[in-house]
Every structure is written in structure tokens, then in C-alpha cells.
């Protein structure tokens, strides 16, 4: 039980402590800091009501209880404000504004022709200003045109039969008449392969099989029954624990897949989902020639020409390849957990007086005489350090911080994907 006073919210079960009303990434309104007390009997329920009532009366505020049963304060005419204090007049103005916004929201949701989700392609969806008031913000699931939950609004208008209150009675009935509406039925969210919260369990399993990496995370273990929304709601530690039950899956792979799924969930909210998807689709198409490779906008370090190549990554070393190695543990600024570097070039082709991040000369045996090398397998490479980013499971490539790494110290190839929104790389 809580009280709304203007744009402030107070928990009546916690000595009128203030709390926040926030919206999560799924579009749900959360009452952060408000107590939720389970009720097992009628007496417990009545006790809580009495406790909340005492607190409300102690501070002398109007009745604004909410149990998704909303007791609206009545609007007041200008002539009723003659003997009110400044604080009371301010409160009255806020109440009148809140009631006006509530009326606009109810009429707005009714004007969507009972199908808020049915917006034709190319048309702009209806706008309902439910965020302008704390009361209507709490009722977001009712007024949001993109919502998928069925809802009803029942308004009870209290009037006085006395002829002395005829003017107030007419105003009340006039306001109640404006709120007349039928039941609003929302359409179910349509399936969209780029919006995880619209996925059913079948598509979730298919996505896990195709995108979870190597080895493939078992869909039967990670999401035996969950839909896309339910999978996103799983806490990170439980998500990783489920992934680790698949043989061969590492914690880093599980976290990378979790981050990949959440980026797909967040990108449409930033308005970049469609653009990013088209880029990803173009990257997954293997070009037929070297010329076509140059025309592709790349956001990943994945080798576009190595599909079907069964050779070890050490036999196809190339510039911009990211590798996990064991040679950078003592390098400045390098994480002990993620020892990642990006290959730049062989050590032997580096010019004279070039030094690495440790102050060592990169190619002390540099010779000005140019010799043609054929069939040479380089054993040492100049690499850029890949450092931890400012966000969880993110990385940044520090091109100017370079070290020399032996080929024997390179353990596995790692694919890094660039996120233009955060300007960080993520393991994909």
C-alpha cells in the first residue's frame, strides 16, 4: 500500500518512506523500494489497512490509496480555495492536473479503436502521455499503446443528492461521462526475429543452437520451456550456471552469449536494431572475391574467407586476428582473466628503433637490405593489446600499446564484435 502525493510516492507500510517508480527494459513499471507483504488471512489484511490509515492520517493528507483500487481525490473549484494555505493550494493544483491527465489517457486509449497494437505500416502510432503523471505512470500497462495485456477501467462517481451541491454534482457527472469507454483488447505481440521478447520457446531453442558458439549450448538445458521474455528475465548467475551444465562450455562463452542476447534485446529500444541486423546479415554472407570483401561493412574480426577452412588458426595468421594467449600476464594494463591481443604484423617486418609497451626493441635484428622471403613461417608477431572496457564483458583495442607474442603462446582465436553504440568490442 502506498500513497501518491503529486509526483512523490510514499510507502504506507514502511513509515511513509519514499520510493521510486521506474520502468525496466521489458517495459514494466517497478515500484523500487516499496514493501510487498504476503497476506495469509483476513485479519492480517485489516491490520495492514489500519496501519496504513494511521500513517496517512498522522500527516494529514487526502485519501489516495492504491491497491490497484484507486481512490481519486475530487477536483476543486476556484471558489473552494479561499481559505486554503499555499501548500494546500499547490496540492489542489497537482490533483486537478493529475485528474486531467488521467482523463486524457483514458480517452486516448479509447480513441485507438480498441486495437492499440493494430497500427498500419507507414502510419504513426497514437501517443498517450501517461508519463506526465505519477498516477498514470503506475498504470502504464493500461495506457501504453504497445502493451499486450488486456485491461478494464471501471469508474465510480460519487455525487451528493442535495440541491446545494448541484454545481459540483454536474461537474462530477460531466467528468465521469468523459471517461466512458469499452474494454480495450490488445493484440498479441507479433513474432519478430530481432526482438527476443516476442520469441516463443521453439524459436528460442533454434536461436540458442545457431548463435551460442562452439560447443553449442544445449537448448534443452538452457531454455527447456522458457519464451524469449522469460529467458531474458533469468539472472546472469543462473543463466551461466545452466550453460555450464553443457559439456565443454566455459564461463566466458556463457557470459558472451548472455551479453549477445541482451544486446539484441536493447538495440531495438535505441532504434538501431534494423540497421545492425542488416549489417550482420551482410557479414554472414561470404564474398566471392577479394574485391567484394572491401565493399562489406565489417563489425567483427571474424575471417570472411576462412569458412570451411579446417586448418588451425596458427596456419592462417592474418592482421586484425584476435587471439587468446598466455604471454601477456605481466604486461601493463592487461587483465589476468582475459589475455587478449590483436595481431598487427610479423616481428621481422618492423622497422628500426621501434619499441613495444615494455620498452623493448621490437626487431633488434633489423636489416636495411631487402630480401625476398618465400615459404617463411613467422614465429613472433607484433600485437596490439586488448584491454578491459568500462562495461561488463567489454573490451577496447589499444593500438598504440604493442607487445611481441610468440606463435607458440597463442592458444585460441577469438572473434570480437564492435558495438557502435558503446564503442566497445564484445566476444561473439
pLDDT tens digit sequence for 41-86: 888 888 888 888 777 654 444 434 445 677 776 656 656 666 667 7
What pTM was computed for the model? 0.42
- List % helix, strand, coil for the chain (3-state, nearest 5): 35, 15, 50
Burial of 184 (0-12, 13-18, 19+ CB in 10 A): buried
| CB proximity list for 161: less than 8 A, separation 6 or greater | 169
Confidence of residue 416 (pLDDT cuts 50, 70, 90): confident
User: Which of 77-81, 217-221, 317-321 has the least mean pLDDT?
Assistant: 77-81
- 2-178, what's its fold? Kinesin (3.40.850)
Q: pLDDT (tens digit, 9 = 90+) per residue, 75-116?
A: 566 566 666 677 777 777 787 788 788 878 877 776 665 444
Q: Where in the chain are the domains?
A: 2-178, 196-276, 311-361+377-428
Distance, CA of 289 to CA of 286 (rounded, Å): 9
Indicate the pLDDT class of residue 217, thresholds 50, 70 and 90: very high
Amino acid at each position: 500500500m502506498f500513497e501518491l502525493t503529486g509526483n512523490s510516492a510514499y510507502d504506507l507500510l514502511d513509515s511513509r518512506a519514499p520510493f521510486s517508480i521506474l520502468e525496466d527494459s521489458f517495459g514494466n513499471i517497478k515500484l523500487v523500494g516499496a514493501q510487498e507483504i504476503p497476506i495469509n488471512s483476513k485479519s492480517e489484511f485489516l491490520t495492514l489497512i489500519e496501519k496504513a490509515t494511521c500513517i496517512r492520517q498522522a500527516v494529514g493528507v487526502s485519501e489516495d490509496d492504491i491497491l490497484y483500487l484507486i481512490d481519486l481525490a475530487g477536483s476543486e473549484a476556484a471558489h473552494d480555495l479561499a481559505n486554503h494555505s499555499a501548500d494546500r493550494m499547490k496540492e489542489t493544483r497537482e490533483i486537478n492536473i493529475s485528474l486531467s491527465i488521467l482523463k486524457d489517457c483514458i480517452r486516448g486509449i479509447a480513441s485507438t479503436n480498441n486495437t492499440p497494437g493494430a497500427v498500419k505500416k507507414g502510419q504513426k502510432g497514437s501517443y498517450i502521455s501517461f508519463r506526465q503523471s505519477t498516477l498514470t505512470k503506475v498504470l502504464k500497462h493500461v495506457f501504453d499503446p504497445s502493451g499486450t495485456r488486456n485491461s478494464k477501467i471501471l469508474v465510480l462517481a460519487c455525487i451528493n443528492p442535495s440541491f446545494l451541491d448541484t454545481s459540483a454534482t454536474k461537474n462530477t457527472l460531466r467528468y465521469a461521462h468523459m471517461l466512458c469507454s469499452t474494454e480495450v483488447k490488445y493484440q498479441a505481440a507479433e513474432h519478430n526475429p530481432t526482438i527476443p521478447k516476442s520469441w516463443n520457446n521453439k524459436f528460442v531453442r533454434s536461436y540458442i543452437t545457431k548463435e551460442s558458439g562452439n560447443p553449442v549450448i544445449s537448448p534443452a538445458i538452457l531454455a527447456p520451456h522458457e519464451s524469449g521474455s522469460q529467458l531474458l528475465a533469468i539472472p546472469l548467475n543462473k543463466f551461466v550456471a545452466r550453460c555450464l551444465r553443457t559439456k565443454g562450455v566455459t564461463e566466458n562463452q556463457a557470459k558472451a552469449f548472455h551479453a549477445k542476447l541482451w544486446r539484441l534485446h536493447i538495440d531495438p529500444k535505441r532504434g538501431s536494431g534494423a540497421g545492425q541486423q542488416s549489417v550482420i546479415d551482410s557479414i554472414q554472407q561470404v564474398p566471392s572475391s577479394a574485391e567484394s570483401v572491401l565493399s562489406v561493412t565489417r563489425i567483427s574480426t571474424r575471417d570472411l574467407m576462412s569458412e570451411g577452412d579446417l586448418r588451425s588458426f596458427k596456419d592462417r595468421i592474418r592482421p586484425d586476428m584476435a587471439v587468446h594467449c598466455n604471454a601477456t600476464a605481466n604486461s601493463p594494463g592487461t587483465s589476468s582473466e582475459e589475455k587478449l591481443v590483436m595481431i598487427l604484423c610479423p616481428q621481422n617486418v618492423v622497422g628500426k628503433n621501434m619499441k613495444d609497451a615494455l620498452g623493448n626493441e621490437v626487431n633488434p635484428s633489423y636489416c636495411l637490405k631487402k630480401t625476398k622471403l618465400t615459404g617463411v613461417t613467422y614465429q613472433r608477431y607484433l600485437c596490439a593489446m586488448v584491454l578491459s572496457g568500462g562495461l561488463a564483458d567489454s573490451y577496447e583495442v589499444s593500438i598504440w600499446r604493442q607487445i611481441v607474442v610468440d606463435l607458440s603462446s597463442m592458444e585460441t582465436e577469438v572473434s570480437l564484435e564492435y558495438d557502435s553504440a558503446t564503442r566497445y568490442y564484445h566476444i561473439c
